[in-house]
Structure 1
């Protein structure tokens, strides 16, 4: 009996076909053997009827057996070695796929609902300390001025039409300019302004934006997915901001806002700082028993005609003197950023956050949403520009007295104490890994709001060794 073939001419006898156990049919035994040499097939039982009907199938089974027996085990081992272990982080949302890079074994999962608050009350009454400040400058070589200077609020007559935001905007200017060590510039500025300061007593070094995300997690507010890179240096937890893109280009489309454009029109940079692209401060304060060093960007300082202090005359004079020289400061830390000593430090009591909103949006709601940002940055002034399609007709300036800050933290005491607990858990998790480095990821839309902690596989350090030796004594 011969196997049917559509190409067989009528009245002729088809050649005996050879069939492999993988069910592929060959015109000759030689072709079958060549196939099995190229791609060994597993041995499987062959129906007796097929053996009787097709003599070649017996040869197929023997050849497969011989090939399988002669296949070295080493080949399988090599294949296993070539296969990289897949990250344990998985998501079905394509927007979050980039977060898997460098995320290895799952260490811990923290559910926001099961977080227990710390027993230590959280209060801003304990005060704060300025560690350092600096201004990034527009330059091909990463350059900062220390202490730098915040722009001054300089309102224009209303109403006024403002163009939409356009051009390159920084999501995280520190990471955009120094991607390998985004926190390094902070220590260069500290060496200039506060050379005796050491970070042995700092429990957490973090950006304000990261604190806000973790705070929203603790109070179970819906938010987009986020990733944070975590490191442990001695007893200090370093929380490194991690964005998909550190800077973006805005085209001025219909969805583009007016925030950056409004700041440019309504603030004025001091003499010598005209090419500044962003002013940053680092404050130290207590958060539920943890000493935190918090970095954030400052929009402006607000001069309210004598009701709050303004930069001193000495500071202004220093700005003028330093502006005449562009000579970099010689630092013990030979970092990636050129440091120029220039600028003046405005009192924290004058610092302002600037935002814009369409006139139809509720003012009270806008202030409520911004309070965490103001509180974590100890920013007393909130300036809100109301507009209709870019036509600004009214500007609200709100001053948050210490009493207003205390009222807000009292109503959010439970979530703030949970945040302190979360920071402690993150530090313990990172210190418990051999690498002392982890990745924390929170996914949007998950049934239970969880923060997953993975061992880091990227092998990156948070800071260069000279910085660590200089600012940690232990």
Structure 2
């Protein structure tokens, strides 16, 4: 008798038996942790995946699956079952700067931070190509012991009365961009983030992976040549800040790196040429990922040096209205549509685009894109509301499952396949909790 094999390894005596098996395997059902819990509109998408045999990920995604292969998801959130938040999402809602800091080349960080000042360099000018590097991509805004530890230390300096009780989501601009692609029905590249629930606050951090060597352009050379840190900040490598603003009904704290401070004072161009040797020496220390420069690994109760309040004489805290994003492009390719999500989540209205021909920069265009961001927001309103619903569903899934730490995995699927993310009970921290004990007692009350 000819048997009908299934991809899972089992065989059946008839095609009807095989079809019944496949239907049962792919049917949706609630997980044991959730089946006795009433589900609200924001959590109707939460369902457990049925048990399935171990699978092999795509080779390019294997690093993301490390520690997860063979595990069954504790919850699955499907895009098709989500419903957009009823609350509108708007960039016009005021945001608040909670903290900022500058990573230092010698280790540690400076609070408050300040972005490098935009310099009007005389054009044309030729710059060296960025190096081709392979480096470890640390989770954004994290340390070797406690993820987000520097945020608590910086907040203690800049806003000691701030309370995280009122924050629903702590995340990064980069993670929100990936989630938005997922929520808009696109099929972005696979990604993984780590989740930690502290009381009612969900922390979302990028997963630590090793990036392969990648070809680069002239972006870092351009930033180094066309910006200068102000006096008192000369040892800085990057400037990071965290803004508080709502996404639908969720109160979010969103972190990101700021490329430059643009004063917009209409001053005359500075007729200087960049020091090419200095650029080439410094580029070897630049991280190629869009994250803060991490501190060296340390072991012990305190994983990083505590910052001291330090604001050089004559310097005020940099306003968010001066934040600028720097981009480079080849001559004739200066479209800005692809940059709008990044600018929107970072509440950044200044965009500076430099055009070059094989490293010879010919033109820089400084744009106030505030009106474009408002237009983009209207066009993507449904997607933004879906994003708010998605974040609420992720937090609710962890609550229902009784988890405080887990990993969220999205694997790019082909057209026609379900668009879902899965939560796994994975050991993602070296310590008992994501927040240091001292910070917990100080900021949750």
TM-score normalised by the chain length of structure 2: 0.74
CA distance in 1, matches of 2:213, 2:238: 17
1:288 lines up with 2:248 in the alignment: yes
1:352 lines up with 2:324 in the alignment: yes
1:457 lines up with 2:395 in the alignment: no
Mapped contact 1:166–1:249 kept (Cα < 8 A)? no
Q: Computing the radius of gyration over CA atoms, which structure comes out larger, 1 or 2?
A: 1
Mapped contact 2:406–2:428 kept (Cα < 8 A)? no
2:283 matched residue in structure 1:
none
How large is the Cα RMSD of the aligned pairs?
A: 2.5
In structure 2, relative to structure 1, the CA distance for the partners of 1:288 and 1:274 (3 Å cut) is same
CA distance in 2, matches of 1:458, 1:203: 21
In structure 2, relative to structure 1, the CA distance for the partners of 1:237 and 1:373 (3 Å cut) is same
1:369 lines up with 2:334 in the alignment: no
Greater shift in the superposed pair: 342-351 or 375-384: 342-351
Residue correspondences, number: 352
1:337 matched residue in structure 2:
305
Q: Which runs of 5+ in 2 are unaligned?
A: 1-50, 268-300
1:279 lines up with 2:239 in the alignment: yes
Mapped contact 1:174–1:183 kept (Cα < 8 A)? no
Q: Which runs of 5+ in 1 are unaligned?
A: 1-85, 308-332
Mapped contact 1:88–1:105 kept (Cα < 8 A)? no
CA distance in 2, matches of 1:231, 1:413: 28
Kindly indicate whether structure 1 or structure 2 has the higher relative contact order, using CA contacts under 8 Å at least 6 residues apart.
2
- Higher helix residue share: 1
State the secondary structure of the residue aligned to 1:424.
helix
1:398 pairs, out of 349, 359, 367, with 367
Greater shift in the superposed pair: 447-456 or 388-397: 447-456
- 1:342 shift after superposition: 2.4
- 1:111 shift after superposition: 2.4
1:226 matched residue in structure 2:
191
Mapped contact 2:88–2:385 kept (Cα < 8 A)? yes
CA distance in 2, matches of 1:249, 1:339: 33
In structure 2, relative to structure 1, the CA distance for the partners of 1:286 and 1:176 (3 Å cut) is closer
TM-score normalised by the chain length of structure 1: 0.69
In structure 2, relative to structure 1, the CA distance for the partners of 1:301 and 1:390 (3 Å cut) is same
1:189 pairs, out of 148, 154, 166, with 154
1:240 lines up with 2:212 in the alignment: no
Mapped contact 1:201–1:291 kept (Cα < 8 A)? yes
- 1:352 shift after superposition: 0.1
CA distance in 1, matches of 2:374, 2:368: 14
Mapped contact 2:108–2:305 kept (Cα < 8 A)? yes
